[in-house]
Amino acid sequence: MLVLQLTTAFAFRTPSPTFPSLSRLQLHKRQRQTFRALASSSSSSPFSSSQKVGFIGLGYMGAGMVRRLLEKGDDVIVWNRSVEKSEKLLSEYPSTTDRIRVRIAKNPKQVLEEVGEGLTFSMLSTPAAAREVFDAPEGILAGIQKGSKLIDCATLEVKDMQAFDIAVKAKGGRFLEAPVSGSKVPAETGQLVFLTGGNEGVFKEAVPYLDAMGKASFFLGDTGKGTEMKLVVNMIMATMMSSLSEGLALAQKANLSTEDVVKVLSLGAMANPMFNLKGPKIIADDHEVNFPLKHAQKDLAFALTLAEKVGASVPTAAAANRDYVTALEQGEGEKDFSAVARVVMK
């Protein structure tokens, strides 16, 4: 039975006859009208003003996400390796005599300590970066205390999330993995999809915050299940981008108009926002970054590892991964992942 939890002051459950096979899935879906009604019926914030929120990692994604929390009324304590990103946020949300909107912590430990039993989000780039920030003497784990609640939103490997979960629990805290589907613009506009696993109590408490940053949130079970879902989704996405590039390359060699290919695709069953957005950009060789290619390759590699672990055959994704590795070797890693086309269309 699919369980649909609605975003109201109270969550309730509705059985769905449509997806009977998704018995373990819980979908928490944002009900925009309900949310707007709440916001417009009261001048106060929908968030508890006494609850502090921490945010660690203000990169492409974290920068947009933290602004959504601020826009919805939260005051935040932030830390980012490059302090300029925190300072930019502070200049956009200056403090008033009676209210500090953004406080810059001197290290991740201080974020956790000051947030206390509130929620702290982390959004770091890679497992190595996350481990560095978690394990540093003044890092995340050093700041975890009894009652801490940490929500990690990065795309890492299952084993990383499980290790963080164990380490947080060992210090009396609670952990939720919450990788996101969606890119820079969805992060800025509150359109992310959260794929969570771990502590369900933290998930329930996080719902108003996830709603501020996203349009839907799934609770998928134990720590690792959210990451697995994220890797499946990103494997499909990266493979589709490689396939689109190949189609455009074939059209080009056959003296067909690549613009026409994108147009024809947009009118059929394969129409999707990604092809509509990235198709014209690939043709224009415009790869302004939203989702860096280096992260797309990271996620493909993690998906291949997962496939091997569970015994799934994914030859199409393995072939796509080779395109991304070549693109990385050719120095395209900091560009958008659409830059895989620069390899495929050569």
* Residues known to be catalytic: 230
d(CA 46, CA 64): 19
**In the complex, what is the shortest distance from the CB of residue 105 to ligand NAP, in angstroms, rounded to a whole number?**
13
- Other residues' Cβ atoms within 10 Å of the Cβ of residue 184: 18
CB nearer ligand NAP, residue 114 or residue 138: 138
CB nearer ligand NAP, residue 4 or residue 235: 235
Q: Which residue's C-beta sits nearest to ligand NAP? A: 59
- Other residues' Cβ atoms within 10 Å of the Cβ of residue 180: 26
Residue 124 is a binding residue for ligand NAP (CB under 6 A):
yes
Residue 82 is a binding residue for ligand NAP (CB under 6 A):
yes
CB nearer ligand NAP, residue 82 or residue 91: 82
Distance of CA 66 to the CA centre of its chain: 12
**In the complex, what is the shortest distance from the CB of residue 299 to ligand NAP, in angstroms, rounded to a whole number?**
6
Instruction: Using alpha carbons, list the distances in angstroms from residue 100 to 39, 80, 122, 192, 346.
Output: 22, 18, 21, 27, 52
Q: What are the φ and ψ backbone dihedral angles of 22, each rounded to 5 degrees? A: -90, 55
Determine the 3-state secondary structure of 266 from DSSP.
Answer: helix
Q: Which residues contact 54 (CB under 8 A, 6 or more apart)?
A: 76, 77, 78, 79, 105, 111, 112, 114, 115, 118, 119, 120, 121
CB nearer ligand NAP, residue 4 or residue 327: 327
CB nearer ligand NAP, residue 1 or residue 167: 167
Q: Which of 80, 217, 242, 338 binds ligand NAP (CB under 6 A)?
A: 80
CB 152 within 8 A of CB 120: no
Residue 235 is a binding residue for ligand NAP (CB under 6 A):
no
**177-206: contacts with ligand NAP (CB under 6 A):** 180, 183-184
**274-303: contacts with ligand NAP (CB under 6 A):** 290-292, 295, 299
Give how many residues touch ligand NAP by CB under 6 A. 26
Q: Which of 6, 39, 81, 249 binds ligand NAP (CB under 6 A)?
A: 81
Q: Which residues contact 303 (CB under 8 A, 6 or more apart)?
A: 231, 232, 234, 235, 314, 317
Q: Which of 57, 118, 197, 333 binds ligand NAP (CB under 6 A)?
A: 57
Residue 240 is a binding residue for ligand NAP (CB under 6 A):
no
Q: What are the φ and ψ backbone dihedral angles of 157, each rounded to 5 degrees? A: -95, 160
Q: Which of 120, 122, 125, 227 binds ligand NAP (CB under 6 A)?
A: 125
d(CA 66, CA 138): 22
Q: Which of 35, 47, 60, 93 binds ligand NAP (CB under 6 A)?
A: 60
54, β-bridge pairs? 77, 120
CB nearer ligand NAP, residue 64 or residue 118: 64
Q: Give residue 221's region: left, alpha or beta (phi > 0; psi -120 to 50).
A: left
Residue 122 is a binding residue for ligand NAP (CB under 6 A):
no
**Residues within the interface to ligand NAP (CB under 6 A):** 57-62, 80-82, 85, 123-125, 129, 132-133, 154-155, 180, 183-184, 290-292, 295, 299
